[in-house]
A and B are shown apart, each in its own frame.
Chain A
């Protein structure tokens, strides 16, 4: 790989984040980024790679953007005013070592995940601008036609410009709520990759790392820990494309470095005493990570953690997970009683995992006909292929 490609891979998103701040516009900044790398391809082979490539690229991008605007300004007076303003702004091209450049990436994440943007657009814009994925790749990941995804991104950028969504990290008072929004977007990206798109999960982990480094908040560590501990099981979870349940996984296949990183982060987040739902979920994943097998798992501790999680996040899905843990601690009858009560309340009736969990408990109790009915219901509702094949196998065995 040559030097320009290498720098593109490692630094292009950081250069873009700074150019957006300097130029005040996403499209201008993307154009400037392209121009800057074109200049690098022309000049670096003969002049040598500059000592600080990132600062060089920012400076080249900014210079060319202003130059292009000046040329356009001959035809348009309003562009002339903009060019003058940009030139006049005394912001020097920032040195790559100053913390401000890192802040630009953080600003970009918070802008892309602004709650005034449509939730789908937040995810799309984050993947496009922060991670540098192509519109085609994002469209494919979310099963949306490319023109629809392109329009979603264009509209979001237009709203940022027209409603003047600021390019900044939120103030202290707003930070908890805004951070929760950013963490949610990252977790959605991670989950989109859970089965068959390890690249998306890897991007989410990269984003999580970036956020945890730039913003020392316990929940950022907690989410990163949760993602690492979940991702560490990928090799064991999908064997030749087929889903393997946690209790049947070959635990020697769990990725040890990710487990170690995850455990360290979850302990750090717990020590802060300012943690939230992601940290608690990571703590549950950590109990599994530390157990040699499903039978050796400390289910009492897991139930206790679900009790804590239920207070932080009182949702039916958390109740379902708690019921499954109780089944492991106290036996399938007890878990089944709780799941039936949940379903009787009219909640989770369309959630495939509620029916597959119920089916599994019925199977353990030897109530095969009822188990088959529940597996069939879960199969009707499941949409991911590996899950569907798993349910099909279970169903055929009842």
Chain B
């Protein structure tokens, strides 16, 4: 079963990290990614540019409007994701609880809809 692990972090906290802290954080992510590649859980994953780079689109009355920034201002922002294959939710929780941002932000685990079962 496939799960998307959405990583929410406080961008301000990340910005405030010293060079050493930042390098260590990055190193932890590299090690984590490597470990879930080895265990066969890894299907994909990316880190995202900060929300300042986000653009939100809407179509209303047939017209597309384009606005700067994310849909809603929140304390924690979507900063990246992992796409994983897991046996069940317990297995997915085991994987997601090792994502380094769990200590500073939060991880949302979402099962992917399987249309073949519908």
Contact of A164 among B89, B113, B116, B118 (CB under 8 A): B89
Report B-chain residues with C-beta under 8 Å of the C-beta of A78.
116-118
Report A-chain residues with C-beta under 8 Å of the C-beta of B113.
162
A166 x B90 contact (CB < 8 A): yes
Report B-chain residues with C-beta under 8 Å of the C-beta of A162.
111, 113
Chain A: minimal CB distance from B12 (Å): 29
A170 within 8 A of B: yes
B111 x A163 contact (CB < 8 A): yes
Q: Report the nearest B residue to A162, measured CB to CB.
A: B111
Q: Report the nearest A residue to B113, measured CB to CB.
A: A162
Chain A: minimal CB distance from B115 (Å): 10
A174 x B90 contact (CB < 8 A): yes
B31 within 8 A of A: no
B93 x A164 contact (CB < 8 A): no
B1 within 8 A of A: yes
A165 within 8 A of B: yes
B60 within 8 A of A: no
Query: A174 CA to B94 CA in the complex, in Å?
Result: 10
Report A-chain residues with C-beta under 8 Å of the C-beta of B117.
78
B19 within 8 A of A: no
Report A-chain residues with C-beta under 8 Å of the C-beta of B109.
163
A166 x B116 contact (CB < 8 A): no
Query: A66 CA to B1 CA in the complex, in Å?
Result: 24
Report B-chain residues with C-beta under 8 Å of the C-beta of A164.
1, 88-89, 111
> Considering the complex, which residues of chain B in the window 97-118 have a beta carbon less than 8 Å from any beta carbon of chain A?
109, 111, 113, 116-118
Q: Report the nearest A residue to B93, measured CB to CB.
A: A116
B87 within 8 A of A: yes
A163 x B89 contact (CB < 8 A): yes
Given A78-B116, A78-B117, verify A170-B111 contact (CB < 8 Å): no
Q: Which residues of B contact A (CB under 8 A)?
A: 1, 87-91, 93, 109, 111, 113, 116-118
Q: Which residues of A contact B (CB under 8 A)?
A: 78, 114, 116, 162-166, 168, 170, 174
Given A116-B93, A166-B90, A174-B90, 18 new contacts (CB under 8 A): A78-B116, A78-B118, A114-B89, A116-B89, A162-B111, A162-B113, A163-B109, A163-B111, A164-B1, A164-B88, A164-B111, A165-B88, A165-B89, A165-B90, A166-B87, A166-B88, A166-B91, A168-B90
